[in-house]
């Protein structure tokens, strides 16, 4: 970029603004990291600001001894993997079929899916239905709910219709491929980019979800990590806000020391892979925006 | 004859329908079947009687809801929270995108982008925990600093007025980077020739932003504004519920949390279904209205 004299001031101020944005986004994350390595006392007294104080791993140690967190991890991984696979099975093939111009009643089927973006039964009818189907408190509902995400389906459909040339499909047909053969052997291998985006979207969605378990899982033993965290980190906070400080004190002391470690540990899987996958996420936003 | 042709066409493409089948079935069961359950909004619904045999009460639940104190409280709460979120959260991604568009160093630009996107991936449980880490009464960073300076502790998370600020600005923090992506990509689609000739004509960067960049992203702004304006009556459940406590309830009870409590915790199925239905009807009307307005004003619509 060429910069001219009168724009120098602007560019300088602009750099400052960008730096402010950077620091605002970064500092809260950075603080949690340094607080996790600091002694709980120093953190509570507000002494930990720029670097760790009284470096200790006791918070992490306390966390590792907490069995609920381990089981939370186990179930979160389980729900994430199975849930993501179900998401893919429901979303990708349907999106491909809808991208095909030769599909009879294409418009009507599109409408069938789109309507659900604007109309829904809402929480209570859905809950009553799932209750009637005897799916409350089951593994099935944890991995099945939200299997179809219409927005992501549209993103995939757009990808297929702009990236898979119609001629390719016609040629494969002339060679005697069936529709299923075309989808599995030709279209899917050409669609690795969108598959990566979808796997990441779905997996992060499952990993970060606490609402499904709040509503549909009474069995605390099968809670995923986010729900365990919610009870650990936020229920005591509520009691304090309500003034029940003494009853929460024991629990609180225990949690206080491991709080930051737990926050990091739960975000760890996402944040570790984040630098590698970040461009895929961005790609997904772009494809979605094309439809707009 | 015509039906036969249709059947033949379907038969010819049965494999495509097979690919559609899982999604069609899921949507039928988990999206359309609950719509049938909306009948419950007009009934004194009892699960053991079902929707057809429960007592029909017409609009009684709606009348009850409109006459409660809750209605006068949670509807304004919902609107205030989402309007505040919109007003505070909408312009910031645009400013961030314009700002990054004029950062000469590509490396620095990438760095800022990567860091500002990161909060988007943090779960809502962790986000709310972080709000408490900073604003907690006894263990929060800010109160820790205040205490060491000899100032009184402030009850941030139990204050109804402060609840709104915390809710909105933590959302801005989490969403600003992610929200900027779409504007950054729109800005990168500007014809470089436009900027070149503007520079030849002696335009400053500010003038180029005003006369080239902003007009380019206006369609994106309008589209997103429509989508957001349509959501003014739908504040999501997840974050509000986690940030709620008995002290800030007067500001933090919104329609979604109210439906959850009355419906699932108190088992008032008919009543809570009615409240939920009221909410979705308003949402739909809002969406259609803003879409119509925007079509009239700018020829841009999403429906």
Task: Check B260 against A207: CB less than 8 A apart.
Answer: no
Average pLDDT over residues A227-241: 73
Global pTM value: 0.91
Whether B164 shows a pLDDT value over 70: the answer reads yes
> Token pair of B194, please?
């436009």
Q: Are residues A47 and A124 in the same domain?
A: no
Q: Are residues A85 and A222 in the same domain?
A: yes
The answer to whether residue A286 neighbours chain B at the CB level (below 8 Å) is yes
The answer to whether residue A1 neighbours chain B at the CB level (below 8 Å) is yes
A 101-130 near B (Cβ less than 8 A): 102-104, 109, 112-113, 116, 118-129
The percent of residues in chain A predicted with pLDDT above 90, rounded, is 50
Q: Which of B150, B129, B151 is nearest to B140 (CA)?
A: B129
> What is the reported pLDDT for A291?
47
Reported confidence tier of residue B220, pLDDT bands at 50, 70, 90: confident
Classify burial at B55, counting beta carbons within 10 Å of its beta carbon; exposed 0-12, middle 13-18, buried 19 or more.
exposed
**Highest averaged pLDDT of the listed ranges A219-223, B90-94, B156-160, B291-295:** B90-94
Average pLDDT, chain A: 87
Write the CA distances from B7 to A94, B3, B11, B13, B55, integer angstroms: 20, 6, 6, 10, 43
Average pLDDT over residues A124-144: 96
CA dihedral B292, B298, B302, B303 (to 10 degrees): 40
Q: What is the CATH number of the domain that holds A272?
A: 1.10.3720.10
ipTM of this complex > 0.85?
Answer: yes
Q: Which domain holds residue A20?
A: 1-56
CB A208 within 8 A of CB A197: no
Reported confidence tier of residue A81, pLDDT bands at 50, 70, 90: very high
Q: Are residues A34 and A99 in the same domain?
A: no
Q: Are residues A126 and A170 in the same domain?
A: yes
Which residues partner with B55 through β-bridges?
B44
Average pLDDT over residues A179-197: 91
Task: Check A270 against B27: CB less than 8 A apart.
Answer: no
Provide long-range contacts, Cβ within 8 A and 24+ apart, for A182-191.
A183/A93, A183/A96, A183/B19, A187/A96, A187/A160, A188/A92, A190/A163, A190/A164, A191/A92, A191/A159, A191/A160, A191/A163, A191/A164
Average pLDDT over residues A53-59: 85
Report yes or no on A164 lying in a domain.
yes
Q: Are residues A52 and A79 in the same domain?
A: no
Q: Which of B159, B167, B15 is nearest to B84 (CA)?
A: B167
> What is the reported pLDDT for A270?
81
Instruction: Give the model confidence (pLDDT) of B22-76 as tens digits.
Output: 999 999 999 999 999 999 999 999 989 989 999 999 999 999 999 998 899 999 9
Report yes or no on A61 lying in a domain.
no
> What is the reported pLDDT for A238?
56
Please give the tally of structural domains in chain A: 2
Write the CA distances from A192 to A186, A201, A277, B49, integer angstroms: 11, 14, 13, 50
Average pLDDT over residues B99-126: 93
Task: Check B133 against A35: CB less than 8 A apart.
Answer: yes
Residues of B within 8 A of A2 (CB-CB) are 199
- The alpha carbon of residue B1 is apart from the nearest alpha carbon of chain A, in Å, by 17
Q: Output Rg (C-alpha) for chain B, integer angstroms.
A: 25
Give SS3 for B55: strand
> What is the reported pLDDT for A57?
87
Residue B151: how many other CB atoms lie within 10 Å: 10
Where a domain ends, among A56, A82, A98? A56
Q: Would you give the distance in Å from CA B67 to the centre of its chain?
A: 28
Interchain CB contacts (distance < 8 Å): A and B: 294
Task: Check A89 against B259: CB less than 8 A apart.
Answer: no
Average pLDDT, chain B: 90
Residues of B within 8 A of A28 (CB-CB) are 119, 130, 134, 173
- The alpha carbon of residue A215 is apart from the nearest alpha carbon of chain B, in Å, by 8
Report yes or no on A269 lying in a domain.
yes
Q: Are residues A132 and A241 in the same domain?
A: yes
Average pLDDT over residues B270-280: 95
Residue A134: how many other CB atoms lie within 10 Å: 10
Reported confidence tier of residue A246, pLDDT bands at 50, 70, 90: low
**Chain B CA closest to residue A184:** B19
Q: Are residues A70 and A140 in the same domain?
A: yes
Reported confidence tier of residue A3, pLDDT bands at 50, 70, 90: low
Residues of B within 8 A of A256 (CB-CB) are 139
Query: E strands of chain B, at which residues?
Result: 43-44, 55-56
Which residues partner with B56 through β-bridges?
B43
Task: Check A240 against B242: CB less than 8 A apart.
Answer: no
CB A263 within 8 A of CB B130: yes
Q: Are residues A70 and A50 in the same domain?
A: no
Q: Are residues A28 and A132 in the same domain?
A: no
Write the CA distances from A165 to A97, A100, A143, A198, B264, integer angstroms: 14, 10, 34, 21, 49
Q: Spell out the alpha helix ranges (H) of A55-178.
A: 58-64, 67-99, 106-118, 123-132, 139-144, 150-163, 166-174
Report yes or no on A262 lying in a domain.
yes
- The alpha carbon of residue A289 is apart from the nearest alpha carbon of chain B, in Å, by 7
> What is the reported pLDDT for A211?
95
Task: Check B273 against A28: CB less than 8 A apart.
Answer: no
Residues of B within 8 A of A266 (CB-CB) are 123, 125-126
Q: Are residues A199 and A162 in the same domain?
A: yes
**Chain B CA closest to residue A116:** B31
> What is the reported pLDDT for A202?
94
Which residues partner with B43 through β-bridges?
B56
> Token pair of B127, please?
């986000």
Pick among A19, A38, A100, A124 to test the B interface (most B CBs inside 10 A): A124
Q: Are residues A145 and A25 in the same domain?
A: no
Report yes or no on A250 lying in a domain.
yes
| Rounded CA separation B244/A232 (Å) | 16
> What is the reported pLDDT for B214?
93
Report yes or no on A281 lying in a domain.
yes
The percent of residues in chain A predicted with pLDDT above 70, rounded, is 90
Q: Which of A124, A164, A171, A25 is nearest to B45 (CA)?
A: A124
Report yes or no on A216 lying in a domain.
yes
> What is the reported pLDDT for A292?
41
Q: Which of A82, A99, A285 is nearest to A190 (CA)?
A: A99
> What is the reported pLDDT for A166?
87
| Rounded CA separation A24/B173 (Å) | 8
| Rounded CA separation A113/A154 (Å) | 10
The percent of residues in chain B predicted with pLDDT above 70, rounded, is 97
Average pLDDT over residues A170-194: 91
Residue that has been written with the tokens 């809710």 in this structure: B167
| Rounded CA separation B280/B275 (Å) | 9
A 207-236 near B (Cβ less than 8 A): 207-211, 215, 226-227, 229-230, 233-234
Instruction: Give the model confidence (pLDDT) of B221-266 as tens digits.
Output: 888 887 788 788 888 899 999 999 989 999 999 999 999 999 999 9
> What is the reported pLDDT for A142?
96
- The alpha carbon of residue B103 is apart from the nearest alpha carbon of chain A, in Å, by 7
Task: Check B13 against A104: CB less than 8 A apart.
Answer: yes
Q: Are residues A131 and A262 in the same domain?
A: yes
Residue that has been written with the tokens 């004194």 in this structure: B44
CB B71 within 8 A of CB B271: no
Report yes or no on A10 lying in a domain.
yes
A 52-81 near B (Cβ less than 8 A): none
Domains and CATH numbers, chain B: 2-56 (no CATH), 69-298 (1.10.3720.10)
| Rounded CA separation B126/B143 (Å) | 20
Residues of A within 8 A of B122 (CB-CB) are 208, 267, 270
Give SS3 for A45: coil
**Highest averaged pLDDT of the listed ranges A4-13, A81-90, A281-290:** A81-90
> Token pair of B208, please?
């180029």
Task: Check B144 against A45: CB less than 8 A apart.
Answer: yes
Q: Would you give the distance in Å from CA A245 to the centre of its chain?
A: 34
- The alpha carbon of residue B76 is apart from the nearest alpha carbon of chain A, in Å, by 20
Residues of A within 8 A of B181 (CB-CB) are 282, 285-286
Average pLDDT over residues A239-258: 61
B284 vs A28, A119, A178: nearest CB: A119
Task: Check B20 against A281: CB less than 8 A apart.
Answer: no
Instruction: Give the model confidence (pLDDT) of A22-41 as tens digits.
Output: 999 999 999 999 998 988 88
Task: Check B259 against A122: CB less than 8 A apart.
Answer: yes
Task: Check B103 against A240: CB less than 8 A apart.
Answer: no
CB B85 within 8 A of CB B168: yes
């Amino acid at each position: 970029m060429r910069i001219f004299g009168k724009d120098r001031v602007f560019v300088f101020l602009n750099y400052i603004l960008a730096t402010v944005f950077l620091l605002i986004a970064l500092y809260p994350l950075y603080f949690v990291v340094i607080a996790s390595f600091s002694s709980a006392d120093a953190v509570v007294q507000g002494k930990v600001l720029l670097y760790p104080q009284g470096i200790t791993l006791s918070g992490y140690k306390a966390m590792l001894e907490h069995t609920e967190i381990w089981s939370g991890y186990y179930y979160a991984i389980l729900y994430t993997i199975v849930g993501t696979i179900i998401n893919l099975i429901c979303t990708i093939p349907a999106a491909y079929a809808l991208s095909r111009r030769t599909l009879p009643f294409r418009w009507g089927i599109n409408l069938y899916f789109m309507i659900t973006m604007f109309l829904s039964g809402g929480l209570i009818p859905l809950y009553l239905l799932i209750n009637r189907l005897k799916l409350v408190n089951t593994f099935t509902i944890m991995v099945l709910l939200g299997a179809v995400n219409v927005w992501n389906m549209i993103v995939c459909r757009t990808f297929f219709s702009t990236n898979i040339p119609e001629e390719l499909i016609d040629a494969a047909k002339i060679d005697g491929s069936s529709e299923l053969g075309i989808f599995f052997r030709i279209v899917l291998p050409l669609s690795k980019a969108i598959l990566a985006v979808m796997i990441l979207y779905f997996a992060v969605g499952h990993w970060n979800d606490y609402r499904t378990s709040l509503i549909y899982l009474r069995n605390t033993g099968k809670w995923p990590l986010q729900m365990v965290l919610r009870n650990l980190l936020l229920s005591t906070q509520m009691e304090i806000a309500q003034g029940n400080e003494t009853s929460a004190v024991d629990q609180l002391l225990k949690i206080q020391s491991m709080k930051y470690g737990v926050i990091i540990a739960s975000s760890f899987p996402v944040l570790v892979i984040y630098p590698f996958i970040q461009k895929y996420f961005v790609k997904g936003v772009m494809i979605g925006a094309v439809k707009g | 004859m015509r039906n036969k042709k249709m059947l033949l066409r379907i038969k010819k493409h049965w494999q495509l329908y097979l690919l559609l089948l899982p999604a069609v079935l899921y949507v039928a069961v988990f999206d359309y079947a609950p719509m049938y359950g909306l009948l419950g909004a007009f009934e004194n619904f009892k699960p053991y009687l079902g929707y057809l045999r429960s007592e029909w009460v017409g609009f009684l639940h709606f009348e009850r809801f409109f006459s409660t104190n809750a209605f006068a409280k949670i509807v304004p709460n919902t609107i205030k929270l989402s309007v505040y979120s919109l007003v505070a959260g909408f312009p910031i991604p645009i400013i961030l995108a314009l700002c990054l568009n004029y950062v000469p160093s590509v490396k620095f630009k990438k760095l800022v982008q990567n860091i500002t996107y990161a909060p988007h991936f943090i779960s809502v449980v962790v986000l709310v925990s972080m709000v408490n880490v900073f604003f907690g009464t006894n263990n929060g960073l800010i109160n820790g600093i205040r205490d060491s300076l000899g100032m009184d502790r402030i009850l941030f998370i139990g204050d109804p007025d402060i609840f709104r600020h915390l809710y909105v600005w933590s959302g801005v923090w989490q969403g600003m980077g992610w929200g900027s992506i779409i504007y950054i990509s729109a800005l990168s689609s500007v014809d470089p020739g436009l900027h070149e000739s503007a520079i030849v004509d002696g335009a400053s960067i500010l003038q180029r932003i005003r006369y080239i960049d902003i007009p380019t992203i206006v369609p994106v702004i309008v589209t997103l504004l429509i989508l957001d304006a349509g959501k003014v009556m739908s504040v999501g459940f997840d974050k509000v519920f986690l940030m709620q406590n008995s002290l800030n309830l007067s500001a933090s009870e919104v329609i979604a949390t109210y439906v959850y409590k009355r419906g699932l915790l108190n088992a008032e199925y008919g009543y809570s279904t009615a409240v939920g239905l009221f909410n979705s009807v308003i949402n739909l009307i809002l969406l259609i209205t803003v879409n119509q307005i925007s079509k009239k004003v700018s020829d841009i619509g999403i429906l």
